[in-house]
Amino acid sequence: MGEFELIRQYFQPLAESTRHNQLILGPGDDCAIQRIEPGQDLVFSVDTLVEGVHFPRDYSPEHLGWRSLAVAASDLAAMGASPACFTLALTLPSVDSHWLEGFAASLAKAAGAFGLALAGGDTTRGPMALSIQVHGTVSRGKALCRSGARPGDLVCVSGTLGAAGAALDFLDTAAPDALQQAILARYHHPQPKLALGQALACHASAAIDISDGLLADLGHILQASGVGASVEPASLPIMDELVALKGAQATDLALTAGDDYELCVTLAPGAFEQLPPGTRQQLTVIGLITEEPGIELTGRHLPIGAGFDHFRRSQ
């Protein structure tokens, strides 16, 4: 099967099933065309996933399609953007129609769930890797940036933390038990917080998605904003299954493990009170923005920068 036949068979149907009203022209021409409404800013981001680095070798295509688009869409959630469309640059060692069917079906499921239309892409032969560029829009000037946190703001996170990172220990287990399955689902099937991000767009002072671990990603907000934070580890939201499996170590995972794709946001206390109905319930307050740089962790002070990285390595 040639490059164009492959695109026609697996990705053209996906493009047709995921139309978006902003996508004026999808795959098949030299470029796609997205029409941006007046008063909107275009928000875009690209993520590359390399086999053996960002996902395991021989990773199931049924998981890879969902996970790749979820990881990319999570950046739109962190900006408070409405999803519009994406491009897919796919490098494959060979044409394996069974793999392509599973991958395209999983990608289609994610594209439908996230409201992202396939706009185009590029298909090449080589070691397996994929790049996904996502596009979204946000009301002019309302995108959530990392730089807006101010002393006195509440630090909040969505969902629960630490489980996806714990799943790395048994990705290869042939017959995972119920506990392990619940935790594996968090790795294989992340849920980018797109609706929550949009609900927070006019309220939060800063936001980031948690891909590298809470302390690392909160650290990016602190650095960009020129502030510090105090975090109460006992307040971290953690899945019961993770506590059952890891005991006290669950808190360390919640602080440092990656791959959760939850949001970490900062909000002035007044803005937190005025969040739209249903939004506050999706957040857990875990700390406070402070003037002094670094992260204060129940008495332990972690300086930002080199010392901070050192702490992560020591985990």
Residues 240-259 that bind ligand ADP (CB under 6 A): none
Q: Which structure tokens are listed for 135?
A: 């596009």
Cα 260 from Cα 214, distance rounded (Å): 9
Q: Which does 120 bind (CB under 5 to 8 A by kind): ligand ADP, Mg ion, none?
A: ligand ADP
Can you tell me which of 64, 69, 85, 88 binds ligand ADP, judged by CB under 6 A? 88
Count interface residues toward ligand ADP (CB under 6 A). Answer: 13
Alpha helices, DSSP H only, in the chain?
3-6, 12-17, 61-79, 97-114, 163-167, 178-188, 194-200, 214-225, 240-246, 249-256, 269-273, 306-313
Asked whether position 172 contacts ligand ADP by CB under 6 A, the answer is: no
Could you tell me which of 227, 229, 202, 196 has the C-alpha nearest to residue 214? Answer: 229
Q: Measured from the CB of residue 122, what is the shortest distance to Mg ion in angstroms?
A: 4
In three state form, how does the secondary structure of 58-120 look?
CCCHHHHHHHHHHHHHHHHHHHCCEEEEEEEEEEECCCCHHHHHHHHHHHHHHHHHHCCEEEE
Can you tell me which of 122, 240, 291, 292 binds ligand ADP, judged by CB under 6 A? 122
Q: Which residue is nearest to ligand ADP (CB)?
A: 120
Q: Which does 28 bind (CB under 5 to 8 A by kind): ligand ADP, Mg ion, none?
A: ligand ADP
Sign of dihedral through CA atoms 223, 227, 231, 237?
A: negative
Asked whether position 291 contacts Mg ion by CB under 5 A, the answer is: no
Asked whether position 90 contacts ligand ADP by CB under 6 A, the answer is: yes
Return the number of the residue (124 or 235) whose C-beta is nearest ligand ADP.
124
Return the number of the residue (4 or 240) whose C-beta is nearest ligand ADP.
4
The answer to whether the annotation marks 228 as part of a ligand binding site is no
Residue whose structure tokens are 């975090």: 231
Could you tell me which of 217, 109, 228, 82 has the C-alpha nearest to residue 158? Answer: 217
Q: Which does 30 bind (CB under 5 to 8 A by kind): Mg ion, ligand ADP, none?
A: ligand ADP
Cα 5 from Cα 276, distance rounded (Å): 48
Cα 61 from Cα 10, distance rounded (Å): 13
Q: Measured from the CB of residue 46, what is the shortest distance to ligand ADP in angstroms?
A: 14
Cα 40 from Cα 294, distance rounded (Å): 35
Asked whether position 122 contacts Mg ion by CB under 5 A, the answer is: yes
Asked whether position 123 contacts ligand ADP by CB under 6 A, the answer is: yes
Q: In this chain, which stretch among 28-36, 63-71, 132-140, 189-197 interacts with ligand ADP, using CB under 6 A?
A: 28-36
Residues 251-290 that bind Mg ion (CB under 5 A): none
Beta carbons of 173 and 111 less than 8 angstroms apart: no
Can you tell me which of 28, 127, 151, 305 binds ligand ADP, judged by CB under 6 A? 28
Residue whose structure tokens are 């994929």: 130
Q: In this chain, which stretch among 116-124, 237-245, 255-263, 299-307 interacts with Mg ion, using CB under 5 A?
A: 116-124
Can you tell me which of 30, 306, 313, 314 binds ligand ADP, judged by CB under 6 A? 30
Q: What is the largest CA-CA distance in the chain?
A: 61
The answer to whether the annotation marks 240 as part of a ligand binding site is no
The contact set with ligand ADP (CB under 6 A) reads 7, 11, 27-30, 88, 90, 118, 120-123
Residues annotated within the binding site for Mg(2+) are 30, 45, 47, 75, 122, 209, 212
